[in-house]
Amino acid sequence: MLFDGQRSVASSSVGQVDTNTFPQSLVKSIEVVSGGASSVYGSDAIACVVNFILDKDYTGVKTAIESGEVDEYGAGNERFEFTVGTGFADGQGHLLFSAEHYDQEGIRDTAAGWQLDGNVGIVNPDKSAGAPYFLVGSDIGSSNYTPGGLIVDGPLRGTFFGDGGAVGQLNFGEVSNAWMVGGDWRYAQSSMLGTNSLQANSTRQSVFGRASWELTPDIEIFAQGSWAGYEGDSDYIRPTDRNRTIQIDNAFLPQTIRDRMVTEGLTSFRLSSARKDMPLAGANNQRNTSRFVLGAEGGFDMSGHAFTWDTYYQKGITQTNEHQNPAWNFANLSAASDAVVGASGEIVCRSAVSGCVPLNSFGVGVASPEALAR
C-alpha cells in the first residue's frame, strides 16, 4: 500500500495500512499493479501493489458535509471535510491542507429481526432420503447451553438453572449438533440476543499538510506531514463457558440436584453456560498515526532520453492501544467455579489461587459482584 509512490507506516498492530489515514479529498487517482510485485517492493507485495496518487497541484477550496442514519435503529453518522490548495511566490511554491472528522454511532444491545425469529443455517436434523443436507429456517436456537447453565451429559442432561437458581428441564426439540429446531430454542438463545454490535462506535480525525518549492525548473523539494486518530468500540457475542466439570460437593449446587446425583450414582456432571451474569466482552481499539516526509524530485534529459528521479526521507509512528473489555480470565473462572464448604463452614475456593472468590455458576442473578470482579 503506497501513498504517492511512497510506503506508508502501518496503522495497526498486525501491520495493515488504513487508507483512511490518507487525505481522501486530495487523492487524484489510484493505481493497482496486480500480481506479485515482491521483486521491487519486497515480500509484503506478493499479492499486488496499490498506489494512491496525490493531487499535488490542487488549487482551490472544497468542503464536504455528510450525514446519515440507519432508519431501523436510529444510529447516525456524520462526516466533515475541509481542503484547500494554493500557490505562492508567483507559483514557485504550493501549499496543500486537508482535515477530516468522521463519527459513527454504534448499534448495541439490539437484536436484528432475523435473530428474534431464530433464522439460522444448520445441518438438517432430518436425515431421511431426499431431505437437503443443510436447513435454513426459523425457530432455531442453541442446544448446548442456556443463560444460567445447562447439564449436557448423563442422566441429568437437559436440566437447566434459571432466574435465581430455579431448576427446570429444557425441551430440546429436534437437535442438530449445537443447534435445535423448536422446543425451548427461544429461551436457550435469549442471553445471546443483542450481545453482538450490529455497528461499532467509531470516531476518526485526520489532518494533512504539504509544502513544495520549485528549486529550479527541473527540481522540486517538498515537506509533508499528517496525523490520523481513530477510536472504535464494539461488543461481540457473549463468550460461553462449555463443558465445565461440576463436582457433587460444589457448595452452590442446589440440594435437589445433589440428591438426584446420589440416586443416579453420579459424582460429577458437565455444565455449559452463557454466563449471563458476566458482563459482555468486546473490543476497544485506539490508535494515532503520524507521518512526516522530506523529499525532492525532478527530471533531466540525456542522450535523447528523458529521466525522472525522486528521493525522500520518511518517519512514521503508530501508537495503538487495543483492549478486550472486559476479558474473561479462564484460570480464575475455573478456580472460582469450583467452590466447596471450608473447614469452618464458609464457602471457599477449592483451589489455593491467591485472591480467589467463590462464584455461583447455577442460574441467573446469582453471582456476587465480588466474584465477578475477580
List the alpha helices (DSSP H) in the chain.
Answer: 38-41, 113-116, 185-189, 255-264, 330-337, 369-373
pTM greater than the 0.75 cutoff: yes
**Residue 332 in contact with residue 374, Cβ under 8 Å?**
yes
Model confidence band, residue 260 (pLDDT cutoffs 50, 70, 90): very high
226 and 349: one domain? no
First to last CA, the chain: 43
179 and 313: one domain? no
- DSSP letter assigned to residue 218: T
Give the pLDDT of residue 237.
79
Give the pLDDT of residue 22.
94
215 and 363: one domain? no
Give the pLDDT of residue 81.
96
- DSSP letter assigned to residue 335: H
51 and 95: one domain? yes
Whole-Å CA distances, 293 to 4, 210, 230: 11, 9, 21
Mean pLDDT across 10-26: 87
Choice between 124 and 354, residue whose per-residue pLDDT is larger: 124
Taking only the tens place, the pLDDT of each residue in 38-74 is 667 777 777 788 999 999 999 999 999 999 998 888 8
164 and 182: one domain? yes
Give the pLDDT of residue 72.
83
243 and 353: one domain? yes
Give the pLDDT of residue 324.
83
C-alpha cell at position 365: 442473578
Model confidence band, residue 354 (pLDDT cutoffs 50, 70, 90): confident
Taking only the tens place, the pLDDT of each residue in 215-248 is 999 999 999 999 999 999 999 878 899 999 999 9
Mean pLDDT across 119-137: 91
213 and 296: one domain? yes
59 and 154: one domain? no
Please, what is the average pLDDT of the chain? Answer: 92
310 and 267: one domain? no
69 and 137: one domain? no
Q: How far apart are CA 37 and CA 41, in angstroms?
A: 6
Give the pLDDT of residue 74.
83
Residue 169 pLDDT > 70, yes or no? yes
**pLDDT > 70 fraction of the chain, expressed in percent and rounded:** 99
**pLDDT > 90 fraction of the chain, expressed in percent and rounded:** 72
Give the pLDDT of residue 306.
93
249 and 362: one domain? yes
- Residues sharing a CB contact under 8 Å with residue 360, sequence separation 6 or more, in sequence order: 165, 252, 339, 366, 367, 368, 371
DSSP string spanning 88-151? ETTTTEEEEEEEEEEEE--B-S---HHHHTT-EEEE-S--STT--SEEEESSEEESS-BTT-EE
Range with lowest mean pLDDT among 6-10, 41-45, 92-96, 278-282: 41-45
For 271, the enclosing helix (H) or strand (E) is: strand 268-273
Mean pLDDT across 347-366: 93
71 and 162: one domain? no
The tally of domains found in the chain comes to 2
Mean pLDDT across 78-89: 96
State the Rg of the chain over Cα: 30
Give the pLDDT of residue 313.
96
Structural domain boundaries enclosing 351: 113-196+237-281+326-373
Q: How far apart are CA 154 and CA 43, in angstroms?
A: 54
Give the pLDDT of residue 38.
63
